[in-house]
């Protein structure tokens, strides 16, 4: 069940030191929409697409998964992780955030620690 207060907390953390306006510009999600969630004025969670936009520019190490858990799309009680899926997601996220050289080193390290 969606807890608007918990979602507000994680969204404030994801916003970081930015204003709602700056978070809006960075994410492409309207300032009013962000403000409504930060002020816990909405009873239903945002769509997964909106959460992806917010997560892509999130600060303070807030991830897409963190936001999806707080939005009640996925549970946080999972005891087992599908490591292939996990590392595929890590690699996909890293590709856009690292230089080409850093990304190649990252892939080598992931393979060396036997996640894959």
Query: Do 15 and 42 lie in a common domain?
Result: yes
Q: Is 76 domain-assigned?
A: no
pLDDT at site 57: 97
Question: What's residue 83's pLDDT?
Answer: 57
Residues 8 and 64 in one domain: yes
Cβ count near 45 (within 10 Å): 19
pLDDT in tens, 28-67: 999 999 999 999 999 999 998 899 999 999 999 999 999 9
Looking at every residue in the chain, the average pLDDT score rounds to 86
Does residue 13 form part of some domain? yes
pTM listed for this prediction: 0.65
Tally of structural domains, the chain: 2
Q: What percent of the chain has pLDDT above 90?
A: 56
Domain around 87:
83-112
Query: Is 11 in the same domain as 52?
Result: yes
On whether residue 19 sits in a domain, the answer given is: yes
Q: Is residue 65 part of a domain?
A: yes
Q: What is the pLDDT of residues 67-95, one digit of tens each?
A: 999 998 887 544 444 556 667 777 788 88
């Amino acid at each position: 069940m969606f807890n608007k207060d918990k979602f507000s907390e994680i969204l404030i953390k994801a916003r970081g030191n930015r204003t709602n306006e700056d978070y809006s510009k960075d994410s492409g999600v309207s300032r009013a929409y962000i403000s409504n969630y930060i002020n816990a004025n909405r009873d239903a969670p945002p769509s997964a697409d909106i959460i992806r936009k917010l997560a892509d520019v999130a600060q303070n190490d807030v991830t897409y998964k963190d936001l999806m858990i707080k939005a009640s799309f996925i549970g946080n009680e999972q005891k087992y992780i599908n490591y292939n899926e996990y590392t595929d997601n890590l690699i996909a996220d890293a590709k856009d955030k690292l230089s080409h050289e850093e990304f190649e080193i990252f892939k080598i390290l992931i393979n060396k620690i036997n996640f894959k």
